[in-house]
Amino acid sequence: MRHVDFSPLYRSTVGFDRLFTMLDSLAQPEGAQTYPPYNIERTGENSYRISMAVAGFSDDEISIEAHRNVLTVKGERKEEGDKEGSELLYRGIASRSFERRFQLADHVDVVGATLKNGLLHIDLKRNIPEELKPRKIAISSASAEAKQIEAQAAEKTH
């Protein structure tokens, strides 16, 4: 896939820098990063959950940080000393460190996180400020006085 240059658009737009950065990052694969696997699900009208498979990590080895619409989840395994008299013949359980970033929409906040049965659940909620919510505008009919004036003007012209 070819790289798209957004620099001409920077000259004629204000405040869309983050949008162009996100579009640019979508074009570039993350180095085919597949670890750890995760799901993103909608749990309500304005609530979401990210579930990550982090088997083998304890809650003190995982850090979660939300900063400027980016949620970063890091996992760093503490080196385990080999048990005396045991030898690892095959390592099938991943024990490598990871860092996963998620772009959050505006007004999406992290509500909490839980680690249960090897799954890290991060709950998110969209809190739209009252002034940004759509509002219904009442349509008022023309007053009776204005209608009478229009009717009188129409009679005079006939």
pLDDT tens digits, one per residue of 20-54: 666 666 655 555 567 888 999 889 888 999 999 99
Q: What is the pLDDT of residue 8?
A: 64
Overall pTM > 0.75: no
DSSP output for 31-80:
SS---S-EEEEE-SSSEEEEEEE-TT--GGGEEEEEETTEEEEEE-PPPP
User: What pLDDT is stored for residue 120 in this prediction?
Assistant: 94
